[in-house]
Amino acid sequence: MFGREYRLRCCGCGALFDDDGVRLDCALPHAPALLRTVYPSLRLDPGDERSMARYGRWLPRGRALATTARTAVFPSAYLGRQLGLRRLWIAFNGWWPERGATLATATFKELEAVAVFGRLAPGERRTLVVASAGNTAAAFAAIATENELPVLIVIPLDAWDPLAALVRVGPSVRVVAIEDGTYEDAMALARTFAAREGYIAEGGFRNVARRDGMGTIVLGAVETIGALPDVYVQAVGSGAGALAAHEAALRLISDGRFGTRLPRLVLGQNAPFTPIHDAWTRGAAILEEPDHDAPERLSRIAATVLGNPSPPYAASGGVRDALAASGGSTYAITNDEMAAAMLAFAELEGIDVEPAAGIAIATLARAAREGCVDPDEIVLLNITGGGRARRRPVTQPQAPAHVVRRADLGRTADLVGTI
């Protein structure tokens, strides 16, 4: 059993809280604000494990949870040469054991799932409720199945086949799929489940474990490189991965051995659905309300996992604050740019990557072409998913525990009572 020596601090009012493993928000009334973990040690002090667990002193742990999940960090000779970048490093999150990447679900969401389940108290018996558009569902299903932990996952039905081909869904996992549903529908239904007795909301970007789990990517990169990167590049939907990198960098600056400047966040979104990019480039204080064309624009993006309509942009400690503090920038990347980038990476670096990673690669290419990244800067490119083609697909027949029609979501209370 782990003692919780860390605490949670509100980015809005500064209030400190002990952690019960499931707290998502500040208890005091004020504008939206994220919580952050405050660890007793200011020093990066890796353990001996050859997985993300080596950074356990900077993870919000409540229980022991074995994992082999690991990010591979290596210098890019080929892509860097093509882009004219002399110090490009790749953080590869996926399945590439020869390189040291051992995320069996081929996505960095596995780092989140391990950390979230590991944050729960040993005696926690409530069922965790997770909403997902795809990759998160696969990661949480895999970790919950492996550790026999209860979880209810709500997804659009079109996310089921990719999940079922990648992960064996064990008896501790229930998947509710919404026919013709969207990610927004999944989030709304998940909130209804989480409000019922015996269930608990996982919380998405509000869960500190998600961000600290993804933060191990930057910890591993700094341990390998020996310094903080000057530039951090990633594709974003909610922006939680960028926040994770930013928060990890803040801790590393406090350590004092790896640099004193925050990495510039260079973030990409898939056009034409780019709420973070739109708000940042217009200097908006908050996200604009989705217009009537938003569903149509969302339907046209190829990197569907990036289609989050309500990212934590304006919350204290959120994406806007991180972009401002780091001097960051954002880009809108088309499907064609994404496809070309995915093909180029496979040819140059020798492995397949997911569409979201293609958005990140194209973002870096655009930033380098426009002179926004200096050839001699240390650049860390986060490949958030890849190597899926190397995974043997699950062939046993599987089906969601429940399939519900979108038309029935209006009677949510009755619907939830039948599941």
Domain definitions of the chain by residue range: 72-102+208-386, 127-197+394-417
Place 290 in a pLDDT band, splitting at 50, 70 and 90: confident
What's the pLDDT score for residue 410? 75
pLDDT for residue 2 is more than 60: no
Tokens standing for residue 412: 């949510």
Q: pLDDT at residue 92 above 70?
A: yes
Mean pLDDT value across residues 53-61: 97
Strands (E), 278-364: 329-333
First-last CA distance in the chain: 34
Edge-first strand order for the sheet with 231-235 is 72-75, 88-92, 379-383, 231-235, 264-270, 329-333
256: left (phi over 0), alpha (psi -120 to 50) or beta: left
b/e sequence 45-58, b meaning 16+ C-beta within 10 Å? eeeeeebbbbbbbb
Q: What is the mean pLDDT of residues 335-349?
A: 98
Q: Which CATH architecture has domain 127-197+394-417?
A: 3-Layer(aba) Sandwich (3.40)
Q: Which helix (H) or strand (E) holds 363?
A: helix 355-369
| Mean pLDDT on 280-286 | 93
| Average pLDDT of span 323-335 | 98
Query: pLDDT at position 1, please?
Result: 41
User: Which helix or strand (DSSP H or E) is residue 288 part of?
Assistant: none
The pLDDT confidence band at residue 293, using thresholds 50, 70 and 90, is confident
Cα separation, 216 vs 59, in Å, equals: 9
Residue 409 pLDDT: 84
**Separation between Cα atoms, residue 309 and residue 32, nearest integer Å:** 17
Sign of the alpha-carbon dihedral angle for 225, 106, 76, 319: negative
What pLDDT sits at residue 291?
Answer: 74
What are 16's two structure tokens?
Answer: 């400190």
Which of the two residues, 411 and 109, has the higher pLDDT score?
A: 109
pLDDT at 77: 83
* Residue 268, strand partner residues: 235, 331
- Res. 36: pLDDT tops 90: yes
- For residue 158, is it left (φ>0), alpha (ψ between -120 and 50) or beta? alpha
CA separation for the pair 260, 385 (Å, rounded): 29
Phi, psi of 128 (to 5 degrees): -75, 135
Give the type of residue at 207.
Answer: N
Res 289: pLDDT = 76
pTM for the model stands at: 0.96
Q: What is the mean pLDDT of the chain?
A: 95
CATH for the 72-102+208-386 domain, from 3.40.50.150, 3.60.110.10, 2.10.25.10, 3.40.50.1100: 3.40.50.1100
The model's pLDDT over 104-115, given as tens digits with 9 standing for 90+, comes to 999 999 999 999
Can you tell me the mean pLDDT for 30-36?
Answer: 97
pLDDT at site 403: 94
Tell me what the mean pLDDT of segment 120-136 comes to. 94
Does residue 417 have a pLDDT over 80?
no
Each residue of 358-388: pLDDT tens digit? 999 999 999 999 999 999 999 999 999 999 9
pLDDT at 4: 85
* Radius of gyration (C-alpha) of the chain in whole angstroms: 20
Rounded-to-integer distance, Cα 172 and Cα 26, Å: 31
